[in-house]
Structure 1
Amino acid sequence: MTSHDDAPRRRSPAAAPATSAGPHYTVVIPTIGRRCLQDCLRSLAAAARPAPHQVIVVDDRPGRNAPLDTRGAGPLAGRLHVLTSGGRGPAAARNEGLRHVTTEWVVFLDDDVRVLSDWGARLLGDLRAAGPLTVGVQGRLRVPRAAGHRPTDWERCTAGLERAAWATADMAYRTRPVAGAGGFDERFPRAFREDADLALRLQDAGWLLARGTRSTLHPVRQTDRWVSVRAQRGNADDALMRRLHGPDWWSRAEAPRGRLPRHLAVTTAGLAAALLALVGRRRASASAAGLWLLGTAEFAWARIAPGPRTGPEIATMVGTSIAIPPLAVGSWAVGLVRHRGARPWGGTR
């Protein structure tokens, strides 16, 4: 599915036809070839009872690559198909997989999750329990905690997925309505907000979304100390969400509001301090610098206090708390400019 600016007009969705043999489903997994794909496939092979009609793995590595290692599929190998999407991001990769789905339901999994042993049976129960106007059923994400220490900032960030709404880490959708809605919007280049955008479009069209009973593990992946800084690029996607869905999209998508207003205040204070110093207004510059320091210290402590408070963690929180506000504001501004001409789906917002 390629992204487009025109969407179906709001209408009452047609009820999906029932099948006598029970819901049939296909699993679609976008990947960039990370090692965790093997764990995902192994857990799926062990838990998918009844087995999916197909397991479609979409290789989203850019350029020409060595064949993708899918040995973890085990007994599902005969049902596994590998497609390529050319490194265009998870939205495009899922759309590539969606184009090849022929079953009533499609289950999107991320390559870094592990489904639990009863996942297949509970999935079947979730799909059977879905009413005719229910277009999607979300799995319950569980993030394992390391015992014996307070969680780091990154561990707490990952744990927030347990409260996320309509996350495609484990999300089942009726295939035809999703395809009819245009699939995932490929203007979202990261694994961020593209799932919320699709959910809001489907809800605006009159469909219902539900939370299921199946559970899926989402381990905390290893990363470097600057991951929170890189994550600020997602503010550009938030700007696109506002353009497409209006200023109330936060509450409708059940998404946390975040600290962008505070980041804007802190960044403004820092810029004011520098500019006032350049024109020789030392007292005013000192006042603005004090506000910047106060805001930065509050942000850093809000991240340090619930954490392990080790030397490396404190140093990381201080350094990244200085960098994050201007980068968040800059990414938001870039998103506003880049998406200033974006047309809302359906043309109603």
Structure 2
Amino acid sequence: MGGRGQRALGPGHADDAYAVVTPTLGRPSLSACLRALAEAGGPRPVRVVLVDDRHRTGGAPLTVDVPAPLRGVTSVVRGRARGPAAARNDGWRAAGDVPWIVFLDDDVVPGPTWGDDLALDLAEATDDTAAITARIDVPLPPDRRPTDWERNTAGLATARWITADMVYRRAALEAVGGFDERFRRAFREDADLALRVIGAGWTVSAGARTTTHPVRPADRWVSVRLQAGNADDVLMTRLHGPGWWSRAGAPRGRLPGHLAVTATAAAALSCAVLRRPRAAAVCAAAWLAGTAEFALARIAPGPRTRDELATMALTSVAIPPAAVWHWLRGQVAHRRTPALVTYEASAPPRARHRLVRERVRR
């Protein structure tokens, strides 16, 4: 790598050759992503693999406008509709023996110097570099305060190992078995993979290339649906221990508060059923105070429009019980998940589980 030039690896691939893998649900933004990729300066990918991860397409082909410079190297593979982790695994394995795999989401826009910047990132990689991050830019409205959803998306700019634009060495992916497909959402699968490659003795470095991640449209209830990630946090804790938050640079969120608010709501209902009005009133007041604090914390930094106020009020009631439900679901689903130990970190997930079962039997 750094300073060694373009030594050929495998059948005609230089050691800085890369493939782009993009899972997609058929969003219109995919064509814009590919267009920006084709127009970016610098070396182009030797392969582009689009993973069609739509569910029940009825055989309809993926609708995408592939720019002329990329048509000869672009292929579409059928995904299994099991989430982005599984789709990325399908993609990088279909990319052949290209030394580097760049994971791009279908709603990002590589910058105009992206190819040259990626070449510099790869040139600075050392032999133990498993992955290189990118700088993610999330444009926010210049004329008003961002909404709760816009602020949520803006958090991607500071996420440590986000796979919206992340390049991995193929050898590192092979060493750890790729993404853990138990992560069915675009959440925590990137942190899990990075922690596993670091545990296996590799390093993850920061790159200089820049990619824009626009805020895509979302409905009023998107923040409630996002609470499903609490189950993935349980899986992360089972695998990596309670210290994974600080190692991954991940914010802890408000789960303790959601547990308290939901408990007061349950207590108020229970007391009402048991015909204890005073106790029910006290618990209901505690629930109302906790919900109001949560709503105000989300309203204060926002645009405070009528629609945003209504969204914050409604979702602040729904989020705490949704978060608790998904956390409890994760506790049940992953109750038997063994911890990931260092000497097993380089084994694929299935092999690792087999090792644990054999150790238990002995």
Band of TM-score, shorter chain: over 0.9
Structure 2 counterpart of 1:80: 74
The answer for the alignment partner of 1:211 in structure 2 is 206
**Following superposition of structure 1 onto structure 2, how do residues 105-144 of structure 1 map, counting pairs within 5 Å?**
105-144=100-139
1:271 aligns with 2:266: yes
Is 1:164 equivalent to 2:193 in the alignment?
no
Shift of 1:70: 2.8
Secondary structure of the residue aligned to 1:57 is: strand
Q: 1:19 to 1:344 in 2, by over 3 A?
A: farther
Secondary structure at the counterpart of residue 137 of structure 1: strand
Counterpart of 1:23 (choices 2, 16, 20) is 16
TM-score, normalized by length of structure 2? 0.89
Cα displacement string for residues 214-266 of structure 1 (whole angstroms, at most 9, x for unaligned residues)? 00000000111110011111111111111111111111111111000000010
CA distance in 1, matches of 2:201, 2:231: 28
Letter in 2 for 1:44: L
CA distance in 1, matches of 2:269, 2:132: 51
Separation of aligned partners in 1, 2:21 and 2:200: 24
Displacement of 1:346 in angstroms is: 4.1
* Pair 1:293 & 2:268 matched: no
Tell me how far apart the structure 2 counterparts of residues 175 and 344 of structure 1 sit (CA, whole Å).
Answer: 25
Asked if 1:191 corresponds to 2:191, the answer is no
User: Is 1:185–1:194's contact at 8 Å kept on the other side of the alignment?
Assistant: yes
Q: CA deviation at 1:73?
A: 3.0
Match of 1:4 in 2: none
Other-structure match for 1:10: none
Q: CA deviation at 1:277?
A: 1.4
Structure 1 match to 2:53:
60
Q: Distance in 1 between the 2:313 and 2:173 partners?
A: 43
1:38 paired residue number:
31
Tell me, in whole angstroms, the C-alpha distance in 2 between the residues paired with 1:283 and 1:18: 77
Q: How far, CA to CA, are the matches of 1:282 and 1:23 in structure 2? A: 71
CA shift, 1:138, in A, is 0.3
Deviation at 1:100, TM superposition (A): 2.1
Q: Compute the displacement of 1:213 (Å).
A: 0.4
2:83 counterpart letter in structure 1: G
Q: Structure 1 vs Structure 2: percent identity of aligned residues?
A: 55
Q: Secondary structure at the match of 1:71?
A: coil
In 1, distance between residues paired with 2:155 and 2:34? Answer: 24
User: Offset at 1:22?
Assistant: 5.2
| Separation in structure 1 between the aligned mates of residue 15 and residue 90 of structure 2, nearest angstrom | 26
Q: CA deviation at 1:347?
A: 7.4
**CA RMSD, 1 decimal:** 1.6
Query: Which of 64, 87, 91 is equivalent to 1:93?
Result: 87
Does the aligned pair in 2 maintain the 1:260–1:328 contact within 8 Å?
A: yes
CA distance in 2, matches of 1:342, 1:85: 26
Deviation sequence 1:136-195 (CA, Å, 0-9, x none):
100110001112111000000000000001110000010011122010000011111111
1:232 paired with 2:227, answer yes
Query: TM-score of the superposition, structure 1-length normalised?
Result: 0.92
Partner Cα separation in structure 2 for residue 22 and residue 85 of structure 1? 28
Counterpart of 1:3? Answer: none
1:340 is displaced (CA, Å) by 1.1
Q: Is 1:282 aligned to residue 280 of structure 2?
A: no
Aligned to 1:68, what secondary structure does the other structure show? coil
Mark the CA change 1:115 to 1:337 in structure 2 (over 3 Å): closer, same or farther: same
Where structure 1 has 5 or more consecutive residues not aligned to the other structure, the ranges are 1-16
1:270-304 deviation per Cα after TM superposition (whole angstroms, max 9, x unaligned): 10111011112221211111111111000000000
